[in-house]
Amino acid sequence: MRVLVTGGAGFIGSNLVEELLERGDDVKVLDNFSTGRRQNLTSWNGDVELIEGELRSYERVSNAVKHCDLVFHQGALPSVPRSVQDPITSNEVNINGTLNVLLAARDAGVKRVVFASSSSIYGDLPGLPRVESMPVGPAAPYAVSKLAAEQYCSVANKVYGLETVALRYFNVFGRRQDPNSHYSAVIPKFITAMMSGRQPTIFGDGEQLRDFTHISNVVAANLLAAEVEAAAGHVFNIGAGQPHSLNELVASLNRLLGTEIEPIYADRRAGDVRQSWADISLARAVMGYDVNVGFGEGLGITIESYAPDRSAAAPA
- Give residue 314's pLDDT: 37
Show which residues are catalytic.
142
- For 277-301, how does the pLDDT look when each residue is reduced to its tens digit (9 = 90+)? 999 999 999 999 999 999 999 999 9
Preceding peptide of 129 cis, ω within 30°? yes
Q: According to the model, what pLDDT value does residue 89 have? A: 97
Annotation: CATH topology of 174-210+241-278+294-306 = UDP-galactose 4-epimerase; domain 1 (3.90.25)
Domain locations along the chain: 2-172+212-238, 174-210+241-278+294-306
Structure confidence at residue 188 (pLDDT): 95
177-to-173, 183, 303, 306 alpha-carbon distances in Å: 7, 11, 11, 9
Q: How far is CA 196 from CA 101, 200, 225, 227, 240, in A?
A: 41, 10, 39, 42, 28
Let me know the angle formed at the C-alpha of 224 by 185 and 141, rounded to the nearest 5 degrees.
35
Domain 2-172+212-238 has CATH 3.40.50.720: yes
> Model pTM?
0.95
What are 188-230's pLDDT values in tens digits? Answer: 999 999 999 999 999 999 999 999 999 999 999 999 999 999 9
Rounded Cα distance between 50 and 30, Å, is: 6
Can you list the residues of the chain whose pLDDT is less than 50? 309-316
CB 128 within 8 A of CB 117: no
Picking from 279, 280, 287, 316, the residue whose alpha carbon sits closest to that of residue 300 is: 316
CA 128 to chain centre: 21
| Residue 198: per-residue pLDDT | 97
Distance CA 316, CA 314 (A): 6
Q: Would you state the pLDDT for residue 46? A: 87
